[in-house]
Amino acid sequence: MDTADLGLPVTVPSTALFTDQYELTMLQAALKAGTAGRRSVFEVFTRRLPNGRRYGVVAGTGRVLDAVENFRFDEGVLRFLREKGVVDEETLDWLAGYRFSGDIWGYPEGEVYFPGSPVMRVEGSFAECVLLETVILSILNHDSAIAAAASRMSSAAGGRPLIEMGARRTHELAAVAASRAAYIGGFSSTSDLAAGFRYNIPTVGTSAHAFTLLHDTERDAFRAQVDSLGAGTTLLVDTYDVAEAVRAAVEVAGPELGAVRVDSGDLLLVAHRVRQQLDELGARDTRIVVTSDLDEYAIASLAAAPVDAYGVGTQLVTGSGHPTASMVYKLVARAESAEPDAPLVPVAKKSTGGKTSVGGRKWAARRLDADGVAEAEVIGTGEVPPELAGRQLLVPLVRGGEVIAREPLDVVRDRHAAARAGLPLSATQLSRGEPVLPTEYAHVPSGS
């Protein structure tokens, strides 16, 4: 069964209202002015990475494709817009037949990006492209922020498995998106069943402190769990006294006990003590899972500890202090007129305060050094230099309104691992620093 076809347990009939009102009022004014049909190019990019981050991670592309396909103004949506007086009848008539018919290009999901990288390019009439701004940014900003945090945590974990367990720390639907993004970034499983249902991400989970507190003794709780789930289960050992709990856990489950989980205290010290105790009790193969408000720094601090897996919640689903990727959606080129063959002209905002942008329909390529390691992100307009032709990053996602680039999530996850491995080694450093690759602009006259 293809679980991507099943939909979320909580479904949304249309994504059309996942937008800001001014998208629709701009549409109304453009329709009246006769400019709504002008061929336009919008690009998604960020002007800077969050402070201290060395690279960004493109995540949410698959969800964007779903959102674009489901961007429809049905009768209920149109009735709402009419009753609230958001736009006039002429605009409502136009919206009733809305179907995106343009093209979308983008960095493949899971790829890394840097300041200025055109991670997505949307092309079509101004009218049909401008309406997609908010929903595209909403998805990419959230998912890319989570994936970047997950990637840093995955690097810090050094190959040890990571469990996403942040559903109770965010909105219920955001939790599903966060699980997906975390999986792309390197997490191996999730506690959220909705994410498992929707995206086929492996799910895990056994018990919380409430289960231990329910029973008369800790040993009774362990016995009930082992009787139900088998000796390979994970027993939570820090409800009362950790040493006593570990002893009881091995006595109940035997040396075949799957794992113990520690959720509090000095995790470095406790992990060493628990490992020593498990070994002395003959449970040498029993794994140690640690949780408790972990982030990439806490994970890195446990690199020398006998920890087998990490469970991460709050810090992951909030982007580890950076809950947005700060991406923007800007018009970079538009036709001189509404004629189908009218040439494109570059456009760009000029302002102070760091909010300037670069006009023109762009390509992007990653230049490698003699050892095959990435050394620069090169962005330009017009013809692509021959030496970079085989290193282009943008791929077609939607052509003529039809989605052409859906792919399994495991492919995306593997792509990210490969992209991160192709960066300079300093990309995985957690210390503050500049982006690991410089962004270079190759301005070539477009003539388009």
What pLDDT sits at residue 173? 92
CA 187, CA 299: separation in Å to the nearest integer?
13
What pLDDT sits at residue 187? 98
Task: Say what the pTM is.
Answer: 0.93
Taking 70 as the pLDDT cut, the residues of the chain under it are: 1-13, 352-354, 443-448
DSSP 91-145: HHHHHHT----SEEEEPPTT-EE-TT---EEEEEEHHHHHTTHHHHHHHHHHHHH
What pLDDT sits at residue 340? 84
What pLDDT sits at residue 10? 45
Superfamily of domain 3-131+326-443: nicotinate phosphoribosyltransferase (3.20.140.10)
φ/ψ (deg, to 5) at 260: -120, 150
For 196-241, how does the pLDDT look when each residue is reduced to its tens digit (9 = 90+)?
999 999 999 999 999 999 999 999 999 999 999 999 999 999 999 9
What pLDDT sits at residue 445? 44
* H or E element that contains 63: helix 61-69
Q: Where are the domains of the chain?
A: 3-131+326-443, 158-320
Domain 158-320 carries which CATH code? 3.20.20.70
